Amino acid sequence: MTTSLHYARLSADDFRARLREALAIYVEAMRYPPGTAEQRAPMWLTHALREGWRCIAALDAEGTMLGIAYGYRGAPGQWWHEQVRRGLTSAGGEQLAQRWLADYFELTEIHVRPASQARGIGEDLLRRLLDGVPNRHVLLSTPEGPSRAWKLYRRMGFVDALRDYHFAGDPRPFAILGRALPLEPQDRR
């Protein structure tokens, strides 16, 4: 990893100012088609207004964003919460849903530019984002299938909450992964 890399906590105003750059990373990392950024922009801006929202960016020496991670306190009434609650309840009943959803931080987005991947940036973003989060659990969703993200989540102790779940409007299967907080301390690079 280069020594010129640094991390910055973005305020909601900073996030809005750098939204295009963050969305470009998202589209490139997820290999989404052009036009996806414009669709997602309003939703990302709305997320920044949610309780407990926090954001970390990885920046190079020139200040160019190499990675982004954000999330917030999950709560009933949020689209993702309701989708996951439905899936968990179907798979294991209300008790399983309560176990995961009673007090959690939703890791909504974490992306690193493909050219900057495999340098520890994703793990650093994840650790810095979750440092000091007061919730009992962290949950995320990720497309099923082998990827660098999967390896990171497993290495960081995430376990299956729900597998092969289909969100409304998306034909791909997703895994819902979670783990208890806080993360184990580790020396930062």
Residues annotated as catalytic are 153
Instruction: Specify the 3-state DSSP secondary structure of 182.
Output: coil
Do residues 68 and 25 touch, judged by C-beta distance below 8 A?
A: yes
State the Cα–Cα distance between residues 14 and 98, nearest whole angstrom.
34
User: What are the distances in angstroms from CA 9 to CA 33, 57, 70, 146?
Assistant: 28, 6, 10, 30
Dihedral sign for Cα atoms in the order 124, 127, 129, 131: negative
CB contact at 8 A, 181 and 135: yes
CA angle 166, 168, 172 (to 5 degrees): 40
- SS3 label, residue 14: helix
